[in-house]
Structure 1
Amino acid sequence: MSDPGGENGAAGATPAGEPTARDIRLVIAASSAGTIFEWYDFFIYGTLAALIGAAFFPAGNETLQLLLVWAGFAVGFGFRPLGAILFGFLGDRLGRKYTFLVTVTLMGIATAGVGLIPTAASIGLAAPIIVIGLRILQGLALGGEYGGAAIYVAEHAPPEKRGFYTSFIQASVVGGFVLSIIVVLACRAAIPPDAFAQWGWRVPFLLSIVLLAISLWMRLKLSESPVFQAMKAAGETSGNPFVESFTYPRNKRRIFVALFGITGVLTTIWYTAFFSSLSFLRGPMRVEEELVEIILMVAGGISMGFYLVVGRWSDRVGRKTPLLIGALAALVLLFPVFWGMGALANPGLARAAEATPVVVTGSDCTTDPFAEMLGGEQSGCGKLLETLTAAGVPYSIEQGAAPAITVGGAQVAIADDWMEDADARRVGILSALTDSGFAFERQTPPIANVAGIIALILVMGMLSALTYGSVAALLAEMFPPQIRYSSMSIPYHIGAGYLGGFLPLISSYIVARSGDVYAGLWYTWAIVAFGAIVAWWGIAGGPPREFGEDAA
Structure 2
Amino acid sequence: MLRQRLEHRQVYAGAVGNVLEWYDFAVYGFLAPLIGKVFFPSDDPVASLLAAYGAMAAGYFSRPLGSVLFGHLGDRIGRKPALILSMAMMGGATLGIAVLPGHAELGAGAAVLLLLLRCLQGVSVAGEYGTSAILLVEQAPANRRGLVGGWVMAACNLGFLLGSGVGALVSSVLGEAAMAAWGWRIPFFLGAVIAVHVLAMRRSLAESPLPAERKAALPVVEALRHHYRAIGLIVCLVLPVAVTFYMCFVYASSYLVERMHLSTAQALDITTLALALQVVVAPWAGHLADRYGRRPLMLLVTVAGLITTWPLWWAMHQPGIALVVFAQMSFALINGVGWSLTIPVMVELVPAHVRVSASGIAYNLCLGLFGGTAPWVATYLVARTADDFAPAWYMMAVALVALLAALRMPEMAGRPLER
State TM-score, norm by structure 1.
Answer: 0.69
Residue in 2 aligned with 1:309? 284
Taking the aligned partners of 1:222 and 1:469, their CA distance within structure 2 comes to 22
Secondary structure, aligned partner of 1:222 = coil
Q: Deviations over 1:187-208 (max 9, x none)?
A: 1221113332443233222221
Aligned to 2:405: 534
Deviation for aligned residue 1:521: 4.8
Q: 2:415 aligns with which of 535, 545, 548?
A: 545
1:254 paired residue number: 230
> What CA distance in whole angstroms lies between the structure 1 residues aligned with 2:286 and 2:388?
34
Q: Deviations over 1:3-26 (max 9, x none)?
A: xxxxxxxxxxxxxxxx93222211
Cα separation, 2, equivalents of 1:98 and 1:213: 16
Matched, 1:493 2:373: no
* Cα-to-partner distance string for 1:266-323 (whole Å, 9 max, x where unaligned): 2112222322343334444454434433332233122211111111111122212222
Change (3 A) 1:518 1:67: farther
Query: Secondary structure of the residue that 1:48 maps to in structure 2?
Result: helix
Map of 1:145-294 to 2, 5 A cutoff? 145-225=128-208, 227-228=209-210, 231=211, 234-236=212-214, 238-248=216-226, 251-259=227-235, 261-294=236-269
CA contact (8 A) 2:76 2:214 kept: no
Partner of 2:21: 38
Aligned counterpart, 2:272: 297
Q: 1:343 aligns to what SS in structure 2?
A: coil
Q: TM-score, normalised by structure 2?
A: 0.89
Cα deviation, residue 515, structure 1: 6.4
Alpha carbons of structure 1 residues 343 and 194: separation in structure 2 relative to 1, 3 Å: farther
Which of 427, 445, 461 is the matching residue for 2:332? Answer: 461
Which has the larger helix fraction?
A: 2
Match of 1:343 among 305, 310, 318: 318
CA contact (8 A) 2:348 2:412 kept: no
Structure 2 residue runs of 5 or longer lacking an equivalent are: none
- CA-CA distance at 1:215 after TM superposition: 1.0
* Conservation of the 8 A alpha-carbon contact between 2:277 and 2:333: no
Instruction: Tell me what 1:333 maps to.
Output: 308
Distance verdict in 2 for CA 1:279–1:211, change over 3 Å = farther
CA distance in 2, matches of 1:56, 1:284: 30
**Amino acid corresponding to residue 362 of structure 2 in structure 1:** P
Do the aligned residues in 2 keep the contact of 1:281 with 1:292 (CA within 8 Å)?
yes
Kindly report which structure 2 residues correspond to 1:32-181, keeping only aligned pairs within 5 A, or say none.
32-57=15-40, 68-120=51-103, 125-181=108-164
Looking at structure 2, the residues matched to 167 and 533 of structure 1 have their Cα atoms a distance apart, in angstroms, of 24
Corresponding position of 1:445: none
Cα RMSD of the aligned pairs, angstroms, is 2.9
Distance 1:326 1:287 in 2: 29
Distance 1:236 1:132, change over 3 A: closer
Distance 1:78 1:136 in 2: 8
2:15–2:133 contact (8 Å) kept in structure 1: no
After TM superposition, give the deviation of residue 30 of structure 1 in Å.
Answer: 1.2
Higher mean alpha-carbon deviation, 520-529 vs 87-96, is at 520-529
Partner Cα distance (1:126, 1:483) in 2:
39
CA pair 526-45 structure 1, distance change in 2 beyond 3 A: farther
**238 and 137 in structure 1: CA distance in 2 versus 1, 3 angstrom threshold:** same
How much does 1:243 deviate?
Answer: 2.1
CA distance 1:288–1:126, change in 2 (3 Å): farther
What amino acid is aligned across from residue 466 of structure 1 in structure 2?
A: V
Q: 1:279 to 1:108 in 2, by over 3 A?
A: farther
Are 1:38 and 1:142, in contact at CA under 8 Å, matched by a contact in 2?
yes
Task: Flag the 1:547–1:317 CA change in 2: closer, same or farther, 3 A.
Answer: same
AA at the equivalent of 1:463 = I
Distance 2:232 2:94 in 1: 32
Cα distance in 2 for residues equivalent to 1:172 and 1:188: 24
Deviation at 1:256, TM superposition (A): 1.0
- How far apart, in 1, do the equivalents of 2:362 and 2:207 lie? 24
Give 1:319's aligned residue: 294
Q: Which residue of 2 aligns with 1:441?
A: none
Q: Which runs of 5+ in 1 are unaligned?
A: 1-18, 348-448
> Could you tell me which residue of structure 2 aligns to residue 351 of structure 1?
none
Residues 290 and 201 of structure 1, relative CA distance in 2, 3 Å threshold:
farther
Which of 1 and 2 has greater Rg?
1
Equivalent pair of 2:154/2:279 in contact (CA under 8 Å): yes
